[in-house]
Amino acid sequence: MKKVATDKIRNFALLGHQDTGKTSFLEAVLFLSGQASRLARVDEGNSNLDFTPEEVERRLTVKAKLLAVDWKGHRFHFVDTPGYDDFVAERLSAVAAVETALLFVKSDTDVEPGAERAWRLLDRLDKPRFVVVNKMDKEHADFAKVVGKLQQRLSPKIVPLFLPLGDGAPFRGLVSVVDGKAFLFEKDGVRDTELPGAMSGAVAAAREALMNAAAETSDALVEKFLDTGELSDEEFHTGLAKGIASGTVVPAVPLCGGDLRGVASLLEALARFAPAPMGPPSSDGATASAAATQWLQALAFGALSESNVGDYVFVRVWSGKLAPGMDVLNASNGESERVGPLFLLQGKQRLDAEELSAGEIGAAVKLRNTRVGHTLCDRNHKTLVPFPALPEPLTFVAIKSRSKGDEDKLAGGLQRLHEEDLGFKVMVHPETHQTLLMTQGDSHAAIVLAKLKRKFNVEVDTEPPKTPYRETIKGKADERYRHKKQTGGRGQFGEVHLVLEPRPRGANFEFVDGVVGGVIPNRFIPAVEKGVREAMQEGVMAGYPVVDLRVTVDDGKHHDVDSSEAAFKIAGAQAFKLAFPKAKPVLLEPIYKVTVRVPEDYMGHVMGDMSSRRGRILGMDQEGHEQVLRAEVPLAQLYDYAMVLRALTQARAGHTREFSHYEEVPREIAEGIIAGHKAAAQAEA
């Protein structure tokens, strides 16, 4: 592909609910631009963009993909993103790398949850956007109705840039609101036509709304528009482009990407009105032209590792240039990086790139020290490009390798997969010793495990995560234990008396040496404490660590020959185990603070479910169209909450959580946990 000037480059991330036709639109772009000889289709499994085995099997986008095409003197870089919320990390990373978003919605539905979430994401990252009302061939397609709902639910800033000639099956053409021209779709392209008289009023109203929005970008334009009710073509176009770039104008465009209708018109509008590349935001949020800085600033924002395409890191160059053979600095980790081959990608097809200049998006191979979110820069101008914080995974499952000896393969495979997918995490819980796979949802977990099997030949078994309970006491108790053993030679002897007392919640463990008169020599006191600590770690009631108590050793006996550290360690542990059941023991469970954002219509369902989870409501606040519910919920009731909440609210609600404290488990629940532990121990024995 030929080099193009930075001001002729346009960069876009495609967002929207699943099945809104994002990938099919890009297949149409690839075909219209002459880069593909036939129009590929996702539902036929021959997509140029959804090509990984998991995507082909499920007929949906799982990983962000790149598409670079030239169109009438402009270079378009598109980043296709998954519609399913399980893959939100892919969306966030893509939006961080572009100037503009294309938000896809369907022509025959209400505002879908994916559109609402994408809109909030774009607001948070302050990104300009176009709304694409796709699938205009649907039987009940209604562009005006959809735009009206979007204005009501998302923003009144959404205004039509085109109007359809016919909705639904008779979607025959478009009217450009800016130019006032109408054209019909034909097999070989489009044909100009007369504006239907019945549409003149709608076109005039849409043009006035668009011109008013363009005028509001400048005091001078506002004054002229109020005085004359009109702007010149140049003023109109300039104001419109400025409004789009600032986010005060969001154009809406109807099309049918599946059969190319309207695709060319959208591309021309993007070339005409979408902002050109800018440099990365500074600490105060300001941006400069991408060409204003000559040294390299580049963001690694994605990764892809597939046998049929290779291992790639997706790179956005914000300023300067990136070329094979360059020695650059990874500002995120301080490591040096030598740049290998560079490519422009068209889905699974790659095109050699001599360099990636300011504003371009491409793929780099053989970057040994660079991961998603890292910044590459000039050695003499160290700088970090902002990268958004990714959401914490909220769905947990415990995994273990099915075949013994595969533990290292499992750990290595998960590490490799995490390098290209920051949306999941893996940890070995220090108390339950389970390996926990933490993802954004059950579909995300299924994809990770499918890749693990396909790429690394590791199969795993899954089980529910164990809750890290604690044990403690509410009363005071004491016990004496003598450890005495004679085996023919030197014996073992140690006797201790322990007193157990509760401490405030969160005060942890205190060991007190209260021995007087030397009945236990000082050198053996640490061994007593060690025995107590080991017994606490193993637990007494149900095998969980003991916390928040004081243990005092205040008496005992020793033998001049047979006493040893080992004997007093055993005596300390056994005395503790005997005293603990007498001290009113209780089981503690972790409690989390949960914040749920939910539309008012679903509040009753969410509240009912929260009560069934033993949740304690702390308060509610209204924010826009949503209620914000704050509650405290036991961790044991949260492992499946993300999926249940999604089902209860048609995926319109979301939640966050953070650890708060431990508190006592209700007696009947604790009895069940203890009985289960004893049964498991007997089965193992």
Count of domains forming the chain: 5
Check whether residue 441 and residue 364 sit in a common domain.
no
Q: Residue 17: which region, alpha, beta or left (left: phi > 0; alpha: psi -120 to 50)?
A: beta
Of 37-46, 233-242, 339-348, 467-476, the one with minimum mean pLDDT is 37-46
Q: State the CATH number of the domain containing residue 437.
A: 3.30.70.870
* Residue-level pLDDT at 293: 64
Residue 666's alpha-carbon distances to 468, 659, 670, in angstroms, are 16, 19, 6
Same domain for 304 and 420, yes or no, is no
Based on the fold, state whether residues 487 and 610 are members of the same structural domain. Answer: no
Q: Does residue 285 have a pLDDT over 60?
A: no
What average pLDDT does range 506-512 have in this prediction? 95
Same domain, 659 and 609: yes
The pLDDT confidence band at residue 59, using thresholds 50, 70 and 90, is confident
For 586-597, the three-class secondary structure string (H helix, E strand, C coil) is EEEEEEEEEEEE
Q: What is the H or E stretch that residue 193 is in?
A: strand 189-193
Residue 539: give the domain boundaries: 470-583
Residue 457 and residue 493 in one domain: no
At 292 the pLDDT is: 52
On whether both 506 and 531 belong to a single domain, the answer is: yes
pLDDT tens-place string over residues 146-192? 999 999 999 999 999 999 997 666 889 999 999 999 999 988 888 99
Residue 163 and residue 25 share a domain: yes
Question: Bridge partners of 435?
Answer: 399, 428
- The reported pLDDT for the residue numbered 169 is 62
Q: pLDDT-derived band of residue 544, with 50, 70 and 90 as boundaries? A: very high
Q: What value does the mean pLDDT take over residues 547-566? A: 95
Question: Which CATH number does the domain housing residue 353 bear?
Answer: 2.40.30.10
CA distance 22 to 15: 7
CA distances (Å), 64 to each of 275, 326, 454, in order?
22, 26, 19
DSSP character at residue 548: S
Which letter does DSSP use for residue 556 in this model? E
Task: Say yes or no: 479 and 570 in one domain.
Answer: yes
- pLDDT(603) > 80: yes
Instruction: Tell me how many degrees the CA angle 93-5-240 measures, rounded to the nearest 5.
Output: 70
Domain identity same for 105 and 59: yes
Q: Is residue 185 part of a domain?
A: no
Asked if the model's pLDDT at residue 288 lies above 70, the reply is no
What is the percentage of the chain residues whose pLDDT exceeds 70?
97
- Provide the CATH number for the domain around residue 608: 3.30.70.240
Pair 14, 78: CB distance under 8 Å: yes
Query: Under DSSP, is residue 455 helix (H, G, I), strand (E, B) or coil?
Result: helix
Q: Which of 463, 479, 494 is the last residue before a domain boundary? A: 463
- What pLDDT is stored for residue 248 in this prediction? 94
In a domain? residue 678: no
| Consecutive H or E run containing 205 | helix 200-215
Model confidence pLDDT, tens digit, residues 337-367: 999 999 999 998 999 999 999 999 999 998 8
Helix (H, G, I), strand (E, B) or coil at 461: strand
Cβ contact 541:585 at 8 Å: yes
Please indicate, yes or no, if residue 680 is contained in any of the structural domains: no
Residue 287 has pLDDT above 80, yes or no: no
Q: Where are the beta strands (DSSP E) in 528-584?
A: 549-557
Q: What is the pLDDT of residue 294?
A: 81
What is the secondary structure of 327-340 as a DSSP string?
EEEETTT--EEE--
77-106 pLDDT, tens digit each: 999 999 988 999 999 999 999 999 999 999
Which strands, in side-by-side order, build the sheet including 189-193? 162-165, 173-176, 181-186, 189-193
Residue carrying structure tokens 């108390």: 431
| Predicted local distance difference test score (pLDDT) of residue 45 | 81
In a domain, 445, yes or no: yes
**What pLDDT is recorded for position 283?**
54
Boundary of a domain, candidates 529, 558, 583: 583
Q: Is residue 199 part of a domain?
A: no
- Whole-number mean pLDDT of the chain? 92
- The least confident of 22-36, 295-309, 433-447 is 295-309
pLDDT in tens, 195-231: 888 888 999 999 999 999 999 998 899 999 888 888 8
In a domain, 68, yes or no: yes
**What is the per-residue pLDDT for 685?**
64
Q: Based on the domain organization, do 365 and 404 belong to the same domain?
A: no
**pTM for this predicted structure:** 0.88
pLDDT at 405 (0 to 100): 84
Kindly state whether residues 141 and 261 are assigned to the same domain. yes
Which residues, 6+ apart, have CB-to-CB distance to 15 below 8 Å? 22, 81, 91, 95, 101, 102, 103, 104, 114, 118, 121, 122
Residue 144 clears pLDDT 70, i.e. is over it: yes
Residues 433 and 484 occupy one common structural domain: no
Label residue 455 by pLDDT band (50, 70, 90): very high
Does 502 reside within a domain? yes
Tell me, yes or no, whether 195 lies in a domain.
no
Question: The domain that contains 485 carries what CATH number?
Answer: 3.30.230.10
CATH of the domain at 21: 3.40.50.300
Percent of the chain with pLDDT over 90: 76
What is the rounded average pLDDT of the residues 582-597? 97
